[in-house]
Amino acid sequence: MVDWSEKCWKEMLIYQRKSSIAEDMLDMIAAWLDLKPGMTTVDIGCGLGYMGYTYWPYFGQGGGYIGVDVNLNLLGEARGAAKKWSQGGQALFISGDAYHLPIADNSADLVVCQAVLQHMDKPEAVLAEMVRLARPGGLIFCQEPDNLSTLLSENYTSLPARTVEEHLLADKVHRLAVAGRIKLGRGDWTVGIKIPKLMHDLGLADIRIRKNDRVTCLLPPYDDPLQQIQLDSIKKQWLNDERHKRWTEELEEEFLAGGGQPQEFDSYREIDKRIMSIFRQQIEKGEYFACGSAHFYFVKGIKP
C-alpha cells in the first residue's frame, strides 16, 4: 500500500490540489450539491483534509466534519491545519479503514471522498460503507478521475511531436498498466466514469455526474498566479527525480502484470527519457507551453 505521507507522494496532495478546481466551478458544485451551513460531513480517505477545507465555506458554519484515514501522519498534519480553517464548526480527524468505518449507520448528511476509490481494490465495498453512514435522504459525493482517458488524450504542448508508433506504444503501456494495477489489487484508475453505475447498483437515487472544467494553459512568461502555481507543481512533482523514478518503476511493474513485454517497456522508457530531458530544458529556459485537461468527475447520489 502506498504511504501517502512519504515526501514524494505527499507533495502531490499539496501541490496538485492547489490548482485542481476553479473557484467558480466550486461555487457551482456546492450549489449543485445543495450544500448548506450546519451539515455534518464525513470524508473517507481524507489525507490532509482537502475536501474539508475546500467545501467548509459552504457547509462548515455550525456544521461538523469528520476526516477518516488509515495514515496517522497525515491525520496529525490535517488536524493541525484544521485549527485555522474550521472556524465556526467542528472538524475531527479519526483513524479508520474505508472498508469498516468506525462511524454509526445513518449518521451523516453528506459522505464524500476524493481520489480514494481509484486506489481501492473493491471500490464498490467502500461506496457501500459510504452509503451506510449517510442518513436516509443524505448525499454521497465522489470526486474521482479516469486517469486512463487523461493519459490517452492529446495535449497541445511545446514538446516534440511523437511518431504514430511512439503514441501507440505509450497507449499500449498505459492501457496494460491500468489492467495490471487492477490485477495487483492497486485499484482502478478509470473508476471515475464507473461511479454512476456503482451507485445505481447500490440503489442510490438521483445519480448525477459532472466533469471538472479546469484546462491547464501554460504560456510563457506564465504571468498570472494560477500559471505560477501550476509551474511550481510541475517543478515539485513532474521534475522531481525521485518521484519520476518511483512512478516509472510502478508503471513498469503494472505494465508487466497487465501482460506487457519487458523489451516494450525498455523502448517506452527510452522515449520517456528523451522527452523528459527536453521538458526539463524547456521549463528551465521558460520556453515550455501546454494546453490540456484531465478527465476528472464529480458524482453524486442520494440514499433513499
Ligand X SMILES: C[S@@+](CC[C@H](N)C(=O)[O-])C[C@H]1O[C@@H](n2cnc3c(N)ncnc32)[C@H](O)[C@@H]1O
Per DSSP, the three-state class of 150 is: helix
Backbone torsion region of residue 47, taken as left when φ is above 0, otherwise alpha when ψ lies between -120 and 50, otherwise beta: left
Q: Establish if 70 lies at the interface with ligand X (CB under 6 A).
A: yes
Among 29, 98, 176, 234, binds ligand X (CB under 6 A): 98
Listed in sequence order, the DSSP H helices in 37-163 are 50-59, 72-85, 123-133, 147-152
Question: Which range touches ligand X (CB under 6 A), out of 113-121, 146-154, 257-265, 294-302?
Answer: 113-121
Q: Establish if 45 lies at the interface with ligand X (CB under 6 A).
A: yes
Residue appearing with cell numbers 485555522: 84
Q: Establish if 115 lies at the interface with ligand X (CB under 6 A).
A: yes
Instruction: Please say which residue, 71 or 230, places its beta carbon nearer to ligand X.
Output: 71
Size of the residue set binding ligand X (CB under 6 A): 19
Element (H, E) at 296: strand 296-302
Q: Establish if 258 lies at the interface with ligand X (CB under 6 A).
A: no
Residue among 163, 127, 170 at smallest CA distance from 148: 170
Q: Closest separation between CB of residue 7 and ligand X, Å? A: 14
Residue appearing with cell numbers 517497456: 265
Among 65, 69, 130, 265, binds ligand X (CB under 6 A): 69
Question: Which range touches ligand X (CB under 6 A), out of 114-122, 193-201, 260-268, 288-296?
Answer: 114-122
Instruction: Please say which residue, 4 or 265, places its beta carbon nearer to ligand X.
Output: 4
Q: Closest separation between CB of residue 105 and ligand X, Å? A: 18
Q: Closest separation between CB of residue 35 and ligand X, Å? A: 17
- Distance, CA of 133 to CA of 115 (rounded, Å): 19
Residue nearest to ligand X (CB): 47
Q: Closest separation between CB of residue 151 and ligand X, Å? A: 17
Q: Establish if 191 lies at the interface with ligand X (CB under 6 A).
A: no
Q: How far is CA 213 from CA 53, 110, 186, in A?
A: 20, 23, 27
DSSP per-residue letters across 8-23: HHHHIIIIIHHTSS-H
- Distance, CA of 217 to CA of 287 (rounded, Å): 13
Q: Which residues 73-92 are close enough to bind ligand X by CB under 6 A?
A: 74
Contact indicator for 26, 219 with CB cutoff of 8 Å: no
Spatial CB neighbours of 186, under 8 Å, sequence gap ≥ 6? 119, 121, 254
Residue appearing with cell numbers 497507449: 171
Instruction: Please say which residue, 77 or 166, places its beta carbon nearer to ligand X.
Output: 77
- Distance, CA of 72 to CA of 51 (rounded, Å): 18
Contact track, ligand X, 264-303, x by CB under 6 A: ----------------------------------------
Per DSSP, the three-state class of 227 is: helix
Q: Establish if 114 lies at the interface with ligand X (CB under 6 A).
A: yes
Among 10, 15, 17, 53, binds ligand X (CB under 6 A): 17
User: Which chain residues interact with ligand X by CB under 6 A?
Assistant: 4, 13, 17, 45-48, 50, 69-71, 74, 97-99, 114-116, 119
